[in-house]
Structure 1
């Protein structure tokens, strides 16, 4: 209680990092020439079954985001800015009144089964890769949109705006709609050379360009939080775009300024690769299924997806809260 009574520290910044299994809110500040980080809130992220699909509970994410920002104040901080990153590829649709259209279906849902064949009949996979440089994965946003076209075309008709998950959370904080570059690069709809939406691909796949705000880059400010948000959390930070794809932000933390440097970022996925100044969209890269994900300051993370912690996260989910105690002495004897 004594700490809460003190004047909140304002020379600090809040980072919100949300992965496929959990999220956290961390406050950072500089003290004695060192960057200090203090975790103030951690929460579970979960998938829920809705209308026959595995979906993200975006209402829960919003609630936990506000709770975490409020706990910054409880811990004696009033951050100047807030930045949010999440995983890639997943999205929401909003109607003209900014209400959700449909559910935030999770990338591991089975709705994209069979979409390779549908997509390949529209555009050869080699040509798609040459334009966007994105690895061939069934969960890429382009395949999710193809699945949505077939199951719920009325949702695309009713939609007015496409936002990715961190973009939607930013919108709930500020009322501003912006799609950040690093996350947009995971859609399969962003031209690797120009960093803008590839309208040739959108036209070929009958994906409405009108839904997509122009791409915004990390470092842009979306302005202060809404008055009702400021009242709920106890202070009025600005929302600034980091690299909103969590791997893009993770790469920035690696102490390597000049290539060549190989990076390994581990979470639900492990991602192994390098950062380049230009994309590599060659036939060899396509055959090896390397991806060119957008990085900070219009750089490219040339990498491969490797199995990460998903198996452990899945076991934890399937146990549904059951805790097993491991006998460490027995392990050492074995």
Structure 2
């Protein structure tokens, strides 16, 4: 049974064809394309038309390769959305790094109360959460919200254009900070207190639910049949966690890419005071689970540093950045990756130096020193968040499963093992796309449940083990790292 997963990341997208043969999955990349923000009028937007065109191109390529799919699913990053009126998109979706939400989270917190928002939703406070994007729109563009008839997140919007069906999916909806953790549906009271229309938000479906078929117009354009479209774990991290090849029911994971998301699966949200103080989140997962985790800034910092040096004419590949970091002095300086200073695009090297000088450290100068500062800081922050996860879940974990494109960085995987003092099990790389495929097969009954899916994934893809090394040096480094300001 051949199916297709479209996995849209903040910097690139891909289409993977998957075939389930016995207890093994075979995948083939059909299409890969770039993604990124466009700047217009001082604001950042997503080029949603480009993404839709790339999805259609991926389907056309699949047909040309003889892989017309039996179904397809789409996952993407969280929080961003489009607004529909009279069947049309009112404006291009804003990019979550757009500055229009500056200060909005604090104002909403003062109006409703952070503790109440957290107790209702269980979601981490991040300035770009959908709740604050919509509040910002209410302040700055109220006429758009008045005109809007439906709210659709990015995969839902693309599905709508493919199928004509407006269907909202649970895992991605939870990231809005507008879903009640107990009822598992939209928090009508919270929506009302924000001055939003309840009618904007459609009923939620679980991953693995049929979500329509290709419109006849799309089928005719591409020369395809009316292929079924499935709602999968449409937050890419939900799909990534579904792909974790864990042999045990209780495990810690790290989905590693532009963002790093580290946590564990739980049956019920953890919404006590400690979780609020540690700013953890309880996002919806596949199979009725919740993902107790923390968002960490991730490889975005290195990606943005690379773009900065590229603009200066000092162009290195990511592999060269990693090699340069390996050659730089160890444990010279660190940053708190989750400091808000590192969220916006722009001159990352300036902000790294400012943080180091503010915390009385030697500031990096050379490319390798910057890269080493970032990668060591991420590895040490992973340990910090892993220990917080153990505290909140009241569990201990023998090691850490890592999935996603970031595990191509073997040095980061090894340094993570060194930092946590436990093994790291890395793989699969295309975690979100593979989890997307698995949920489609669960939805069609080809795979029984999530446990069977993980067994099949473990049988299908290589997992590399990294054993910890240099224990005393990394323990001393961690002790010093925890003493940085803001940790």
Normalised TM-score (structure 1): 0.91
Q: Which has the larger strand fraction? A: 1
2 CA distance for matches of 1:20 and 1:79? 25
Displacement after TM superposition at 1:105 (Å): 0.5
- Structure 2 residue corresponding to 1:276, chosen from 266, 279, 290: 266
Following the alignment from structure 2 to structure 1, what is the Cα–Cα distance between the partners of residues 325 and 206? 49
1:93 corresponding residue in structure 2: 83
Q: Residue 173 of structure 1: CA displacement?
A: 0.5
Q: State the partner residue of 1:54.
A: 44
Match of residue 135 from structure 2: 146
Q: Rg: which structure is higher?
A: 2
The residue that corresponds to 2:96 in the other structure is 107
Q: Do the aligned residues in 2 keep the contact of 1:93 with 1:162 (CA within 8 Å)?
A: yes
Match of 1:255 in 2: 245
1:290 to 280, 289, 294: 280
Q: CA deviation at 1:33?
A: 4.3
**Aligned partners of 2:325, 2:272: CA distance in 1, in Å?**
48
Q: 2:169–2:234: 8 Å Cα contact kept in structure 1? A: yes
User: Equivalent residues in 2 for 1:97-246 (5 A)?
Assistant: 97-236=86-225, 237-246=227-236
Residue aligning to 1:68? 58
| Residues 1:328 and 1:295: Cα distance change in structure 2 (over 3 Å) | closer
* Structure richer in helix, relative to its length: 2
Aligned residue for 2:461?
Answer: none
| Structure 2, unpaired ranges of 5+ | 329-487
User: Contact between 1:70 and 1:232, CA under 8 Å: does it hold in 2?
Assistant: no
Query: 1:293·1:302 contact (CA, 8 Å) conserved in 2?
Result: yes
In structure 1, the residue matched to 2:484 is: none
User: Aligned to 1:27, what secondary structure does the other structure show?
Assistant: strand
Q: 1:298 Cα shift?
A: 2.5
Q: Is the 8 A contact 1:66 1:233 kept in 2?
A: yes
Does structure 2 conserve the Cα–Cα contact (< 8 Å) formed by 1:162 and 1:211?
Answer: yes
C-alpha distance in 1, partners of 2:183/2:297? 30
Does the residue aligned with 2:88 lie in a helix, a strand or coil? coil
Give the deviation of 1:227 after TM superposition: 1.1
- 1:144-191 Cα offsets, whole Å, 9 max, x none, are 011101110000011011000000000010000011000000001000
Q: Label 1:321 to 1:241 Cα distance change in 2 as closer, same or farther (>3 A).
A: farther
How far apart, in 1, do the equivalents of 2:321 and 2:303 lie? Answer: 21
Report if the CA contact (8 A) 2:259-2:300 is conserved: yes
Matched residues in 2 for 1:298 and 1:50: separation?
40
Q: What is the alpha-carbon distance in structure 1 between the residues aligned to residue 144 and residue 164 of structure 2?
A: 22
| Larger displacement relative to structure 2 (200-209 or 257-266) | 257-266
Deviates more, 1:112-121 or 1:144-153: 112-121
Please, what is the CA RMSD of the aligned residues? 2.2
Deviation of 1:140 after TM superposition, in Å, equals 0.5
CA distance in 2, matches of 1:167, 1:115: 25
- Equivalent position SS for 1:297: helix
In the alignment, structure 1 segments of 5+ residues that lack a partner are 1-10
Residues 1:294 and 1:117: Cα distance change in structure 2 (over 3 Å): same
Q: How many residue pairs align between the two structures?
A: 323
Change in Cα spacing, 1:330 to 1:91, as seen in structure 2 (3 Å) is: closer
Deviations 1:91-136 (A, max 9, x none): 01011x2111123001111111111231022211001000000001
Q: 1:78 aligns with which of 37, 45, 68?
A: 68
Question: Normalized against structure 2, the TM-score is what?
Answer: 0.63
User: What secondary structure, in the 3-state scheme, does the structure 1 residue paired with 2:192 have?
Assistant: helix
- Indicate conservation of the 8 Å contact 2:306/2:316, yes or no: no
Distance 2:11 2:324 in 1: 30
State the SS of the aligned residue for 1:213.
Answer: coil
Distance 2:95 2:312 in 1: 21
* Whole-angstrom distance in 2 between the partners of 1:284 and 1:267: 27
317 and 65 in structure 1: CA distance in 2 versus 1, 3 angstrom threshold: farther
Counterpart of 1:8 in structure 2 is none
